[in-house]
Structure 1
Amino acid sequence: MTDARTDLGIGMVGYAFMGAAHSQAWRTAPAFFDLPLHPRMAAICGRNEDAAGQVALRFGWESVETDWRSLLTRDDIQVIDICTPGDTHAEIAIEALKAGKHVLCEKPLANTVAEAEAMAAAAADAAKNGVRAMVGFTYRRTPAVALAQRLVAEGRLGTIRHVRAQYLQDWLTDENAPLNWRLDKDKAGSGALGDIGAHIIDMAQFVTGSQIASVSGLMETFVKTRPIAGDHATLGGSSSSDAERGPVTVDDAAVFTARFVDGAIGVFEATRFATGRKNALRLEVNGSKGSLAFDFEDMNVLEFFDRTEDPAISGFRRIIVTEASHPYIAAWWPPGHGLGYEHGFTHQVVDFVNDIAAGNDPVPSFADGLAVQRVLDAVAASADDGKTHPTGA
């Protein structure tokens, strides 16, 4: 029997890919971590009641709603978790914050800078009344990435000089893979740039502790039309060469160079056309005293080079990030037993619940999400006019 005084009622909007990942996190976090509040999966919301109901049954949501506004009127719900396409983020988040609900919103924060600015302003106003908001850049919560940030913050790399960041996927390499909402600018805002480029922008800024000041970008759409498969198929989908085709209105790949506020320079690449790469999110940071490198396809490992060591025996060391002293690991398995993709979402829940209970402003905040949105906007503007664009950082 749950003590009602410690319950934190969760209302989640969306039930597809991210909905499943978030559902797993809400269900798992209290089983492994000693949380000050108990997340109760009060309601899942989706326009398709049958589909949402199936997800509710699978993951243990107590009820189903078909209108997200209904969640805002329920006294048993204190948190709104937004797992919908980007075109809906601003309206849901702003109204939820006005209703006094804490908000967790998937990345990118919004589809435009104006929307992100409005969301950040609403979050700042809500924080005055103890209402918290966080944007879901879950790769920050991969233990190896959190360790990388710690090493940089401790000065182990010295002055940061170079950053190289890539997010490589291949799920669109088949030109007959069907259209889905991620290929529709009205729903997604942008393509590879916003979908996966946002992650490497946030990770680079998180690990280095420095903001991107200016960018010079290039974007390309390799396949201009794709088969229409019903109501825009979900991520992936089957190929069809003879179906009616519709326009792809977002980028397939984006590359850009960047200058950081602290003087470092960076090279960024986001593509869904890197044949053979499934989820290769990579970051390398070079400093005056050392370097580090991370690849999510080997996510339990961080490579670290210490330039201050004896050159005769120095080299990149391969750190298996599974010790209890590493970030988040103590709650899980014995050393050497690696974690997976879903654990970042669980760690996100843990941090968010702890911040709500402690009255702390969570990170990454909506202001952090806005900072990423400004970089995305500057890259798109640069790709359009061929000029270097400042981000306002």
Structure 2
Amino acid sequence: MKTLGIGIVGVRYGAHMHYENFKKLPPGLIELRGVCSRTLESAEAFASKTGITFVTNNIDELLAREDIDIIDICTPPATHHEIAIKAAQAGKHIIMEKPLTGYFGEPGDKEPIGFHVPRARMLAGALKNAEAIREAVRSNGVIFCYAENWVYAPPVVKMRNLIAASKGAILEVRAEENHSGSNSVFSREWKHTGGGALLRMGSHSVGACLHLKHWEGMERLGKSIRPVSVMADTADLIHTDASNRAKKANAHNWISSNPVDVEDWANVTIKFDDGSRATVLVSDVGLGGLNTRITTFMTDGVIKANMTANNAIETYAVDPETFSNEYFTEKLETKAGWNRPSCDEDWFRGFIQEITDFVDAIQNNREPLAGIDLAVDCVNVIYSAYLSAEQGKRVNL
């Protein structure tokens, strides 16, 4: 098979995570041939760590290279749709970090847009961006790979196998993610990320729920089971009276969440066309390390999938420095007391599996397990949830 040339756009957390998993692929499948960042300095710093030889701060220069087959988009969400459309028009296949896109304001906006822009306008703008990407992908015949690792995580794969082995129906999917705040400096403002915890983290939970019901429909009925409405509540919990009361009492605050105009907590109920439900809870105010889990409640059983904290390995230490030189898990505040380190976090959360599927899909000209339709559906559900939270009522999709 042809060695696929990859150009990475963006050099922050997502790019480093993708690089680490590209390295795990068998030799000869891919080659990292270029990197593009907003500044040459940051691109050169990333290139020096990864061995990439072509460095630029001009996306058009990267797209013009004939030896690059795939553009891997790891930039903040506000730039996703423009880069994706350009890449598709240049005939490049696309790997994109979630979320697909969102609403990021209008030219000339100065005030924090999360405070004053009606959610109906945000929903329309986000869907316009999402559909523009889908149209560019389809009209140019490129493969779009949506980096939703939950779809590929071994616990979720096993969950699908167990559902297939049963004869029951999924009545509810319950998905949760929480931790103590984002790695990204852009996460505090709507104009950069297109929303808060619901879009940034909820993309995982919503994506997994939509995927499981779609998959169940294809298995049982030969057609997708579709979401039809949402009802939601969102909040900025770190700036509530409850939080301020703790500050006045000089309580220690381990939580890094500090939103400007986005939410750090959300609860969403999704209704599907077969009458079943999905419940999504996401939070940036959860201590104890990254927590990600899905439960399917079926007519003939219950299946729980835990992608982070599990008891494969457990540690205890009085001194938090006892295990200071060994990685435990993302977002863990302290290694003192009892802890549950992840044995292989990237594998257990599906990162290497998604990269493997993406490369195989492009090599064989097929749709990946997580593709453009799932990405667009997530935008639709999440922005409809923002509208529901604003209006205080159910919103039909």
Class of the TM-score when normalised by the shorter of the 2 chains: 0.7 to 0.9
The residue aligned with 1:50 is 41
User: What is the alpha-carbon distance in structure 2 between the residues aligned to residue 200 and residue 29 of structure 1?
Assistant: 27
Q: How far is the alpha carbon of 1:222 from its aligned partner?
A: 2.7
Kindly report which structure 2 residues correspond to 1:120-131, keeping only aligned pairs within 5 A, or say none: 120-127=134-141, 131=142
Task: State whether structure 2 residue 22 is matched by structure 1 residue 12.
Answer: no
Contact 1:255 1:269 in 2 (8 A): yes
2:73 paired with 1:76:
no
Do the aligned residues in 2 keep the contact of 1:144 with 1:299 (CA within 8 Å)? no
> Paired residue for 2:265?
253
Give 1:353 shift. 1.2
Q: 1:46 to 1:169 in 2, by over 3 A?
A: same
Q: Is the 8 A contact 2:269 2:280 kept in 1?
A: yes
List structure 1 runs of 4+ shifted beyond 4 angstroms: 238-241
Segment of structure 1 superposing worse, 76-85 or 132-141: 132-141
Q: Is 1:192 the counterpart of 2:193 in the alignment? A: no
Match in the other structure for 1:141: 152
| Equivalence for 1:104 | 95
Q: Give a deviation string over 1:238-284, Cα, whole Å, max 9, x none.
A: 9999xxxx9711111111222122221222111101233x2111111
Q: 1:310 maps to which residue?
A: none
Deviations 1:129-170 (A, max 9, x none): xx2111110121111111212222x15261111221111111
Residues 299 and 141 (structure 1 numbering): CA distance in 2 closer, same or farther, change over 3 Å? farther
SS of 2:96's equivalent in the other structure is strand
Quick one: percent identity of the two aligned structures? 27
Residue 221 (structure 1) aligned with residue 233 (structure 2) = no
Letter in 2 for 1:55: F
- CA deviation after TM superposition for structure 1 residue 78, in Å: 0.8
Q: Structure 1 residue aligned with 2:168, among 158, 175, 192?
A: 158
- Give the TM-score normalised by structure 1: 0.76
- What amino acid is aligned across from residue 8 of structure 1 in structure 2? L
The alpha-carbon distance between structure 1 residues 299 and 10, as it changes in their structure 2 partners (threshold 3 A), is farther
Question: Does the Cα contact within 8 Å between 2:36 and 2:58 map onto a contact in 1?
Answer: yes
- Return 5+ residue gaps in structure 1 as ranges: 32-36, 173-177, 226-237, 302-336
- 8 Å CA contact 1:224–1:248 kept in 2: the answer is no
Q: Once superposed, what is the RMSD of the aligned Cα atoms?
A: 2.6
How far, CA to CA, are the matches of 2:283 and 2:13 in structure 1?
Answer: 19
Distance 1:342 1:41, change over 3 A: farther
Structure 2 matches for 1:1-393, cutoff 5 A? 6-31=2-27, 38-111=29-102, 112-127=126-141, 131-152=142-163, 154-156=164-166, 158-171=168-181, 180-208=185-213, 209=215, 210-223=225-238, 248-276=260-288, 278-298=289-309, 338-341=343-346, 344-391=350-397
Tell me how far apart the structure 1 counterparts of residues 128 and 75 of structure 2 sit (CA, whole Å).
19
SS in 1 for 2:308: helix
TM superposition shift of 1:338: 4.8
Give the length in aligned residue pairs.
Answer: 321
Return the TM-score normalized by structure 2: 0.75
Q: Distance in 2 between matches of 1:78 and 1:360?
A: 15
